[in-house]
Amino acid sequence: MAGKRVQKAGQKAGQKAGRRAGQKAGKKAGKKAGKKTGQKADQQPDQTVARFPRFKQLPAEIQSKILLESIGNDPKFHLLQVARVQNNTTGTWSLAFYPVTKSLDESGYRIYDRLATVDATAADAVRHEAARRKHNQDNQYARLPFKRLDAHIDAEKDLVILDFAKSDRRALGYFHPENQILNATGKTFNGDAVAAKFENIQRVAIKWSDQDHKCQDVCCNFRCTNPLYGNHQSHTDWLMCPEELCGLLNCFPKLREVSIILDTARDDKEQQDLVSIYVKNYFTGPPMVPSSHPDLRSRVFRGVDTSYIEVDERYMEMFASGGAGHGSMKHFALYQFWMIGLMIQDLRDYYLQRDDPQGIENHFTQEQNDELGKIFRLSLAQRKDLVFKTLLAVPPAMKGNLKWEGKDEHDYLYAHRPPRPRGCIWLS
């Protein structure tokens, strides 16, 4: 009997141990199978991404052409950091230009840098394209005025963005010749040195930020000569004096298009919400938005991830439901857009008044006006044809989420309405 009990106990212990061993083995096998399955799943190609498995079988020349075509022919933007520099030898001051740190730079010319990292064929294609642009004979391409970095851009289509550093020191002097006459004690601006660096560039933009100094401040990059004198009184709270901006634009002998970039504060949630709505209207737009200029939405300057689009009042509308199937269009405005518009109008008027027989009367004699008229690098006819725009950045985070969604009236009125004193938004 005792032997049988021992035998039964042994059988139970064996069965229990077997079950445990089997469970452990099962778990171990399951983990291995799971890993293999996961690896296989990870190795499965993304069905949403188009693939070209025979690409490497094509001749290298064809591969290069396809890689360069992938960048596209869309106009690009290129960001230049600007600093004021003084020449103690000549007693003049001018501007120096620097690239943005490579890891942070969204400029269009950086797209080629990224393409070159794909493989040896791509790197070779980028080298050949750079050489072609560099040795182009018809002035289609222009070299950006960097000391070391060799970057050539399309001088006709591409946009050069000037980003002036904010300084707490007194500005070196005035851009415009007239303001230098009125303030003879200031250093003379060497505009010829700047013009030599941009002799073929046709599209220029200046970054505008409400964090910059006001133009009555001596630290402002584009400050008024006398905030209490004449037409300066009307814009002492602006961030750029139109006359001073005119002096900078005079450094571009082939200028055709001028843009002011509206840089909205990142911590202003209301404005960021409106920017998001505007971007959706711009690219996808509801049927209620007029489309008298169907090519407007194609005016996009592209970079690595960020793009710049034109600010147009027609896209400052959003649909607000009124209940029972009824709806209406509500109008909004991006903060400071109208101030920039007034500045651009003032700039255009000033740009045309110097040597125009129909120009605005001013405090100079006819002889002085004639002398100032000769200073302009663009003729009166070319200045009359200048195009002025306001641009807005489209951050990478907004891309891929451009489905237009109407807001109901309650959300529009209360969730997207900045404080009334700022005058940023109203209902039509």
Whole-angstrom Cα distance, residue 175 to residue 170?
14
Decide if 141 is inside a domain.
yes
Decide if 169 is inside a domain.
yes
CB 145 within 8 Å of CB 251: no
Q: How is 236-298 classified by DSSP, letter by letter?
A: TTSSS-HHHHHHHHTT-TT--EEEEEEE--TT-HHHHHHHHHHHHHHHT--TTS--SSTTGGG
Provide the pLDDT for residue 396.
74
| Other CB atoms within 10 A of residue 50 CB | 6
Q: How is 63-87 classified by DSSP, letter by letter?
A: HHHHHHHTT-SS-BEEEEEEEEEEE
Report how far apart, in Å, the C-alpha atoms of 277 and of each of 260, 274, 329 are.
20, 5, 13
pLDDT over 60 at 4, yes or no:
no
Provide the pLDDT for residue 95.
95
Whole-angstrom Cα distance, residue 102 to residue 3?
84
Tokens of 14: 């064996």
Q: Mean pLDDT check: name the lowest of 85-94, 182-191, 363-372, 378-387.
A: 363-372
- Give the domain range for residue 382: 69-262+337-357+368-393
CB 354 within 8 Å of CB 224: no
More confident residue, 285 or 257: 257
Q: Mean pLDDT check: name the lowest of 7-11, 162-166, 351-355.
A: 7-11
Whole-angstrom Cα distance, residue 259 to residue 206?
7
Confidence band (pLDDT; 50, 70, 90) for 363?
low
Decide if 242 is inside a domain.
yes
Decide if 403 is inside a domain.
no
Decide if 255 is inside a domain.
yes
DSSP strands (E only) in 115-202: 141-143, 152-154, 159-164, 188-189
Closest CA to 119 of 43, 64, 62, 70: 64
CA dihedral sign of residues 305, 311, 315, 320 = positive
Report the number of distinct structural domains present in the chain: 1
**pLDDT digit string (tens) for 191-233?**
999 999 999 999 999 998 888 899 888 899 998 887 677 677 7
pTM for the full predicted model: 0.76
Whose tokens are 């209207």? That residue is 281
pLDDT > 70 fraction of the chain, expressed in percent and rounded: 65
Provide the pLDDT for residue 426.
29
**Mean pLDDT confidence for 18-47:** 50
Q: What is the DSSP letter of 174?
A: -
Q: How is 323-335 classified by DSSP, letter by letter?
A: ETTEEEEEEB--T
What mean pLDDT value characterizes the chain? 74
pLDDT over 60 at 412, yes or no:
no
Provide the pLDDT for residue 82.
96
Decide if 228 is inside a domain.
yes
Decide if 327 is inside a domain.
no
**pLDDT digit string (tens) for 84-99?**
999 888 889 999 999 9
CB 388 within 8 Å of CB 344: yes
**Mean pLDDT confidence for 16-21:** 54
pLDDT over 70 at 414, yes or no:
no
Decide if 308 is inside a domain.
no
